[in-house]
Amino acid sequence: MKNSVHLNTKILGLIGHPLKHSYSPFIHNIAIDLKEIDYIYLPFDIPTSNLKNAVRGMIALGIRGFNVTIPHKENIIQFMSNVSEEASIIGAVNTVVNELGKLSGYNTDVNGILETLNPFKEEIFGNEISIIGAGGASRAVIYTLIRYFKPSKIFLVNRTEQRADSLKNYFQDKMKYNSFKTKELFPPDLVEVFRSSKLIVNATSVGMYPDVDDSITMLADSFAKGQIVFDLVYNPIQTNLLKLASSNGAIALDGLKMLVYQAAKSFELWTSETMPVEQVYKSLQLFLKV
């Protein structure tokens, strides 16, 4: 990495806790090098008890902007002067821009999801879909799909069905979408549900490193040709779920493109520069040896 720090170097960062295996510092510092701009991106491990102080510190130090990850994505909203429409509906902010002490919150996961799914818009639009997971990432997926893909039905599946129910109620209220059906994550009961879905999205952390042998389902007849399976997990890139989906003829989409494109939107919000996504994507693939 060629980054060097000068008197006027602008600081970007990431806050979360614990900060394990984040690729954001790699992505943003590579993009900064490629664009030859005077920025640096740093990770800050901030426990919940210190969030308020950390935000004050960011303002006091003139940090230009930062990403927000687990567990602060929802709590950070109270410190924002402005929240974008999508972040406000989703109820989570992953990108903060600091304009002279006034903080604006955005949710750029939406851009990553759109860039991944837009090439398949015709196939997905107006059809039934399944979303597994009821955490922060699932919220961004639900928002993006309702807003841009108008599904005829959403099967919302989660290990804790209660959380799926409250997410359903939340989005029914926020987006006036009334075609949800919630289900508990129990693979044998889900074969029919998945088979009737044009798109299946894994928005859980199941299959993520180090538990790479796990999968939300191992049942091969859950997937078939003509379906699209999108796994938000990006470490590993080829999860067991995606292997199963593609071996049954479905289109398998991994989480790496989403990761790069959500970063690209954040980068643009902070620097007004376009991230060279192709080069960043290739550097990331080399770094991950894929």
Binding interface with ligand NAP (CB under 6 A):
70, 109, 112, 133-138, 158-160, 163, 185, 203-206, 208, 232-234, 255, 258-259, 262
d(C-alpha 66, C-alpha 96), whole Å: 5
Q: In this structure, what token pair is assigned to residue 111? A: 């851009």
Identify the three-state secondary structure at position 11: strand
Q: How far is the CB of 28 from ligand NAP (least distance, A)?
A: 14
Q: How far is the CB of 60 from ligand NAP (least distance, A)?
A: 29
Nearer to ligand NAP, 83 or 284 (CB): 284
Q: In this structure, what token pair is assigned to residue 86? A: 């999508």
What angle, 0 to 180 degrees and rounded to 10, lies between the N-to-C axes of helices 109-117 and 256-271?
130
Structural contact between residues 106 and 97, judged by C-beta atoms closer than 8 angstroms = yes
**Long-range pairs, 208-213, Cβ under 8 A, ≥24:** 208/233, 208/235, 208/239, 209/21, 209/235, 209/236, 212/236, 212/239, 212/240, 213/240
Catalytic, out of 2, 10, 20, 73: 73
The answer to whether residue 73 is catalytic is yes
Q: How far is the CB of 134 from ligand NAP (least distance, A)?
A: 4
Residues 6+ apart with CB under 8 A from 81: 102, 103, 104
Nearer to ligand NAP, 10 or 230 (CB): 230
Q: How far is the CB of 116 from ligand NAP (least distance, A)?
A: 8
d(C-alpha 246, C-alpha 252), whole Å: 6
Residue nearest to ligand NAP (CB): 135
Nearer to ligand NAP, 10 or 208 (CB): 208
Nearer to ligand NAP, 10 or 137 (CB): 137
Q: Which residues are catalytic?
A: 73
